[in-house]
Structures are given as C-alpha cells and as structure tokens.
Amino acid sequence: MGFLKRHPILVSVIFLFFAIQLFPLNFEEKQIGNPFSRFILTLAYYPQKFVFTLTKGVVDVWQNYINLIGVKEENERLKSEINKLRQEKFRLWEAELQNERLKKILEFKETSSYPVVTANVIAGSPSGLRSQVVIIDRGTEDGVNQGMPVTTYEGIVGRVFMVGSKSSEVILITDEISAVDAYIHRTRTRGIVKGTGDGCVMEYIEKKSDVNIGDKVISSGKDGFFPKGVVIGTVVGIDITGGFVRAQISPDVDLNSLEEVIVILKYSENMVLNE
C-alpha cells in the first residue's frame, strides 16, 4: 500500500494501460467506429508505442551486442589465420633460400679440385680479444686441420686457425693477421690481400699497374694456401702511397651473416700470416 500512496500517477497509468488492453470492443462497435472506440484506440497508442519502442530498443541493443561478439571472434580468427599464413610463407621463403645455398655449395663441391666438407657456423668468437673469428661444427674427426682454407660458393671466408675434435675456429680474411696472395682478375696484377679488422686491403701493387674500382680480386694460389682462382672481393677504393698502389677490397662474402661454409681439405705446411 505504501507504493500506491507514494506513486499514485504511475499506478494510475499502469492500470489505465491494462484496462485499455483488456477493454472489450465487440465486432459491431469496431465496424461502426463509434467515437468511444476511436478515443480508446487513440488513448492506447501512447502506452503501446512506448512499450514497442522500449522493447525494440532492448532487442536492438542485445542483437548489436551479440553481433559485436561475433565480429570480435571472427576478427580474432582471421588474425590467427593471417599469422599462420605469414609464418608459413616465411618458412617456405627460408627453405627456398637454404635450398638455393645448398645447391650452390653442391655445385662448388663438384667443381673443386680438392675434397671438401660443408660446415655450419655455430658461434662467433668466444674471445673478446679477437672478433674476426667464427666457430664451425667440424673438426679433426671430419678431416679438418689447421691452415685449411674456408670458403662459400661466393668467395673466401678465411682459414682454420684452431682445431678441436668436433669443432674448429675459423679466422676471417678481415682479421688483421690474415694475408692471401692475390691477383686482380682483369689484369693479373699481383698483390697481398690483408685484413684490417673491418675490411681488407690489397698492398704491394706496383704504381704502374692497371687497377680500377670494380675490379674483382681472386686468390693466386702462389702462397700454397688457397687454391688458385677463388674470389676474394671487389676493389672499392684506390690510394697511391710512394711507389705502390693500395686498393681497398670489399669481401664478396657477407661475413656478418655466415650460415654454411665449405672447408677445402687442402694441406699447407706453412701458415701465411700478415706480419
């Protein structure tokens, strides 16, 4: 009873709404369309319209909520599918690159004058004193010995410096103690390619020699170390000092991203070092 006393208008509207809904109008009265019937019809519009609008609003909100949940779930599913496709594409691309590298390594092995073994680069230098070194997963058990040249199908990498039973340390041609007897491929001009720590230079080239930027540099084979004709790099700069030409050499092999290398099983009695 307390609710009726506190909200008389609301209670009256509710009773009026239900009375209108339950008010009997016989068929004849509807057919005649008497004034009272029209009044009841008009009066019923407002509560009916309110209930319809309220109900439709609730249904629309709920339907939109359900749709949003469905859209969110679909977006998550599509994102997951896209990520899977990207990963699959990357795996296929990586496999294609690896197959291409292995194919070129196989071609190198077939044309090499010496027996070779392939190796994976498994680490960089374990010492902070020498950065131009990588570790490979081949050692004496695989026929690898100190001084053996290391290359890829693109060109010279370096040489085996220390050997273990299952792994070896390879000193890169950019190391300051590295030296390779070499030719300018185009003119057969001879010199010594030395490491500088972050690149290479070709020294002891006679001043009158024909050397140009872009010339390819190859091993001469005269040091008894590398086989003749293995690519070292490309001339990228030229300096004239005294009676000699000094050429800056950019190695053809990207030494910062080595993955597979080839050890040429060529024995040398003497290690050729940059004094």
Top-level CATH class of 116-264?
Answer: mainly beta
Cα gap 156→158, rounded to integer Å: 6
In 3D, which of 196, 232, 190 has the Cα closest to residue 211?
A: 190
Lowest mean pLDDT among 43-47, 60-64, 134-138, 147-151: 43-47
Q: Is the dihedral of CA 240, 242, 248, 249 positive or negative?
A: positive
Q: Give the predicted TM-score (pTM) of the model.
A: 0.62
Q: What is the DSSP letter of 176?
A: T
How confident is the model at residue 45, as a pLDDT? Answer: 62
Q: What is the DSSP letter of 229?
A: T
Cα gap 120→123, rounded to integer Å: 9
- CA 35 to mean position of chain CA atoms: 82
Helix axes 8-22, 35-111, angle to 10 degrees: 90
Domain ranges of the chain: 1-111, 116-264
In 3D, which of 169, 159, 164 has the Cα closest to residue 126?
A: 169
Is pLDDT above 80 for 14? Answer: no
Cα gap 176→163, rounded to integer Å: 20
**Inter-residue contact 175 to 218 (CB < 8 Å):** no
How confident is the model at residue 182, as a pLDDT? Answer: 94
How sure is the predictor about 130, in pLDDT bands with cuts at 50, 70 and 90?
Answer: low
Is pLDDT above 50 for 26? Answer: no
For the segment 23-47, the average pLDDT, to the nearest whole number, is: 55
pLDDT tens digits, residue range 50-71?
Answer: 666 767 666 677 776 667 776 6
How confident is the model at residue 158, as a pLDDT? Answer: 94
Cα gap 274→268, rounded to integer Å: 16
What percentage of the chain exceeds 70 in pLDDT? 66
For the segment 192-200, the average pLDDT, to the nearest whole number, is: 92
Average pLDDT, the chain: 78
How confident is the model at residue 180, as a pLDDT? Answer: 93
Cα gap 216→232, rounded to integer Å: 8
For the segment 230-259, the average pLDDT, to the nearest whole number, is: 91
